[in-house]
Amino acid sequence: MLLFLGAGASVPFGIPDMNELTYKILEGLKDKNKHSEISKIEQIKKKIGNFVKLDIEAILTCIDGLNNPKKGIKDAGAFAAYLKYSLPNIECQNLSTEIREIIRKNCFLPKNEKTVIEIYDKIFDIYTLHSNSISTLDVFTTNYDYCFETYCVEKDYDFYDGFDTSKGVQMFKGLYASNKYAKYKIYKLHGSSNYMLTKKGKIIKTDQLVQPGTKLTGGITVKESMIFPTREKYFSKDPYFSLLLNLRNKLNETIGDQKDIIVIGYSFRDDAINNAFYDAINNAKPKKDIIFIDPNAKRIVEDNIPELKKVIKPIPKRIEAFAREDLH
């Protein structure tokens, strides 16, 4: 079984969705009297509002490009070089850091662990009914939060996310290079609020919020958070490129084996992920529907993935209202 979780799958646990997160970032900057930074965001919104959906992913993509125009143009292509001359000249280095820190604070741990257990129990109940004792549950998510991992810890379920203990810290060892027999595997496609990058370029995982510059066990110094809600991650950065490749492989494998795919609370606005679904469906020709649970499921399918209408079964409910009987 493959489970794909979007922002709507974490909203009941007190984690903001993308629209609310954008609002919280503006409020967080206002609380810090960062009025100049807010003005920069408003300039960007004014420039791009007619072309893309305004959320923090789009805004942060622009900010990172403005911080390093040469790199941004290299990632986005020749058309971006042409457009650069129409963009405002904005200094955004500190703003990018501020935004990532606000994301981390709002998307770290769930506000109510009891609610996480109650709701995820229903999903795991479905998984148990549709799998054998050695079957693996692959969980892909675009969320930054730690909700799924919290559930596994509270239920004492063995899960693997690519990290192993090294020098007293959780160090990323590659995509499931070890512990490959873990029953539950989670792939964080957009990074995570508890992933950090060290000064030596290593990816580590922390159990608590730590600030860039903090020295951890073993003399390891934290450089920046591993939250990259931007398109560049799919073009050249690992582990994100490899994670997307894993999604493609797992979709092909799951559809080919006629196993269940359940998508919860995802907007299908990321072309790289949509294309992974398109290609897997064209390659494997599914014989069962992909279950899509979201209160706006029908509209999302119509607006964002109309080509998949024939293979997606929308269930227009929030995750907390979903019941096993809905699968009938």
Q: Which residues contact 279 (CB under 8 A, 6 or more apart)?
A: 248, 252
pLDDT for 297: 94
- Helix 35-48, helix 56-67: angle, nearest 10: 100
**How confident is the chain (328 residues) per 10-residue block, as mean pLDDT?**
91 86 87 87 80 75 77 62 55 76 83 84 72 75 90 88 78 62 84 84 81 77 71 60 86 89 92 91 85 94 92 91 72
**Do residues 193 and 225 make contact, with C-beta atoms less than 8 angstroms apart?**
yes
pLDDT for 293: 93
Supply 138's token pair. 């692959």
CA distance 147 to 115: 10
**Do residues 173 and 138 make contact, with C-beta atoms less than 8 angstroms apart?**
no
Residue type, 170: Q
pTM: 0.82
Q: What are phi and psi of 253, to 5 degrees?
A: -65, -45
pLDDT for 218: 73
